[in-house]
Amino acid sequence: MIKILKYGEVKNEDIFARSMPKMNVEGIVAEIIDNVKKNKDKALFDYCKKFDKANLSSLVVSEEEINEAVSSVEPEFLEILQAAANNIKKFHEKQKRNSFIINDEKGIIIGQKIIPVDRAGLYVPGGTAAYPSTVLMDSIPAKLAGVREVVIVTPPNAEGKINPVILAAASVAGVDRIFKVGGAQAIAALAYGTETIPKVDKIVGPGNAFVAEAKKQVFGKVSIDMIAGPSEILIVADSKTDPAYAAADLLSQAEHDKLASAVLVTDSEDLAAAVSAELERQIPLLERAEIARASIDDNGKIIVADTLERAIEIANEIAPEHLELCVDEPFDYLDSIRHAGSIFMGRNCPEALGDYFAGPNHTLPTSGTAKFSSPLSVDDFVKKTQYTYYTKEALSKVAADVAYFANKEGLTAHAKSAVIRTEKKQ
């Protein structure tokens, strides 16, 4: 049963405690990465056989396999995928940045170029669920950014096949290439390249503890989006919230993973009790009841605050991945929310809407990192390059100032490089 905690009557450590995975995987992942660096495709084939029970003849998903998958998916689902893709494009189009140039002083031009990375690698999890939504959310911003090649890595099943809905989503999103490999070995392949899988510049996408650790270890060789922890939802709700709705929304994240975190913060003790009862009614009805039960019992909590304003303060301290604001006038409180990956406004906006369809990205900061990081966006797939141009006349006006500054830092060669161009030839 979910814990009910009254703010001010229990220790703050209990209010803000997070359940974090305690898997010591560093050594295992380091060994996998080293093996892939040395043995490349051979290591990948071996790991597919070991972990996925798949005897592959090729790591490449062929055009024929993609077409077969698309034709096997219900037309209705293809239409929904396309509608979701359109919403995601519409939202992320607004994130595109422009290069700029400043030329308001004679003889001086400065500016910034926005340049997409050449190649991006997207990790799409397999395992207990398929995630075509992740394909759309991660590949569409990359395509909008102008990335030349977007590739996917995702684990095959024992027959060496990729879930058709993954391939259908990749087709809708315009992904360039898809490879049958998962786990830490897939991250290593993207970071270092193999005979089949190209080295990328940026790796994005969620995964298990091994994938997260691999992303951490290859960072610096390539860029990554974030180190994602278990999924989280926090609902700020007042007394008029329907407890059945709140319970259903908590369970929408609890079913992800036994380590997922589902939290309700409310100013109503009656709602707290009613949501707890609803959770007990709804959990046994779920297909993933065992996972949801473990998540709710081990990591779930209901926090009762004295006011709605206090509830929002608590939410800001937790800085959740997903935050639902279940109140009558949610926009009155929007400016008070400082730390959250994605905010869902009002009583008719379940977090699942954002997972699949609305348009904002669902690859979000977890574990409190929303205090300093952001959702995946077009920005993740571009870099910025500056440029500077001065004529000799423009330089001569500031060379002495540059040299003075450089000398203050004790860097006399810097100073000389500025003034030498203004000194008269003897």
Is residue 321 part of the annotated active site? The answer reads: yes
Q: Are strands 301-304 and 177-180 parallel, antiparallel or unpaired?
A: unpaired
Q: State the catalytic residue, choosing from 65, 213, 255, 321.
A: 321
SS (H, E, C) the chain: CCEEEEECCECHHHHHCCCCCCCCCHHHHHHHHHHHHHHCHHHHHHHHHHHCCCCCCCCECCHHHHHHHHHHCCHHHHHHHHHHHHHHHHHHHCCCCCCEEEEEECCEEEEEEEEECCEEEEECCCCCCCCHHHHHHHHHHHHHHCCCEEEEEECCCCCCCCCHHHHHHHHHHCCCEEEECCHHHHHHHHHHCCCCCCCCCEEECCCCHHHHHHHHHHECCEEECCCCCCCEEEEEECCCCCHHHHHHHHHHHHCCCCCCEEEEEECCHHHHHHHHHHHHHHHHHCCCHHHHHHHHHHHCEEEECCCHHHHHHHHHHHCCCEEEEECCCHHHCHHHCCCCCEEEECCCCCHHHHHHCCCCCCCCCCCCHHHCCCCCCHHHHEEEEEEEEECHHHHHHHHHHHHHHHHHCCCHHHHHHHHCCCCCCC
Q: Is 92 a catalytic residue?
A: no
* Tokens at 172, concatenated: 């809708």
Residue-wise burial string across 115-145, b where 16 or more C-beta atoms lie within 10 A, e elsewhere:
ebbebbbbbbbbeeebbbbbbbbbbbbbbbb
Q: Which two tokens stand for residue 382?
A: 């571009």
From the list 213, 255, 278, 322, the catalytic residue is 322
Taking the CA atoms of the chain, what radius of gyration do you get in angstroms? Answer: 26
Q: Active-site positions?
A: 321-322
